[in-house]
Amino acid sequence: MNGFFRSSADLFAELNRLQGLVDQAFGPADRTSIRGQQGAGFPVLNVGATPDSVEVMALAPGLDADKLELSVDRGLLIIAGERASQLPEDRERTNLYASERFTGRFRRVVSLPEDADPQKVEASYRDGILRVSVAKRESSKPRRITVN
């Protein structure tokens, strides 16, 4: 009976090991669980618009700004990069009980509206937030016409 009861640390380590085996066999699934979503949806995005621009905010703490890749192609804003693991190199001696922080390569794609101008994109990264502003085409903005 002594082998039947395990500590919670052993149980979580075993669950993580089994989840790793399932992910190896079938690939990581996009699933929501009480322990967090693995990889899907990183970075979290907020997308909105002003009269002059389309605004995208990516909540992405812990990134190296030099490793961020942004591009606009055929009406799509593509945000890609990599967040390095903060775990010690000696993983054989490390017990991980929960892992909700995404590490590894990521790629998010935002479909831009037709009035977005791909030639006028500005981006900045500060305090873990990537801000991307895509200006709207002048031709799409309302303008007042004077009647003679």
Domain assignment present for residue 10? The answer is: no
CB atoms inside a 10 Å sphere around CB 102: 18
Q: In what order do the strands lie in the sheet with 69-73?
A: 69-73, 76-83, 104-111
Residue for token pair 């621009």: 53
Higher pLDDT, 3 or 72: 72
**Lowest mean pLDDT across 22-36, 59-73, 81-95:** 22-36
Tell me which DSSP letter residue 101 carries: S
Mean pLDDT across the stretch 34-54? 73
| Token code pair at residue 115 | 């009035």
CATH number for position 65: 2.60.40.790
Output 79-87 pairs: Cβ under 8 A, ≥24 positions apart: 79/43, 79/107, 79/108, 79/109, 79/110, 79/130, 79/132, 80/105, 80/106, 80/107, 80/108, 81/105, 81/106, 82/106, 83/42, 86/62
- Does the reported pTM lie above 0.75? no
Domain assignment present for residue 61? The answer is: yes
pLDDT-derived band at 28 (thresholds 50, 70, 90) equals: low
pLDDT tens across 97-138, in order? 777 777 888 999 999 999 999 999 999 999 999 999 999 998
Q: What is the C-alpha to C-alpha distance for residues 26 and 131, in angstroms, rounded to an integer? A: 35
Domain assignment present for residue 124? The answer is: yes
CB neighbour list of residue 57: distance below 8 Å, 6 or more residues apart: 45, 46, 47, 129, 130, 131, 132
Domain that includes residue 75, residue range: 43-85+104-138
Domain assignment present for residue 5? The answer is: no
pLDDT reported for residue 34:
35
Query: For 66, phi and psi rounded to 5 degrees?
Result: -70, -20
Structural domains in the chain (count): 1
Domain assignment present for residue 123? The answer is: yes
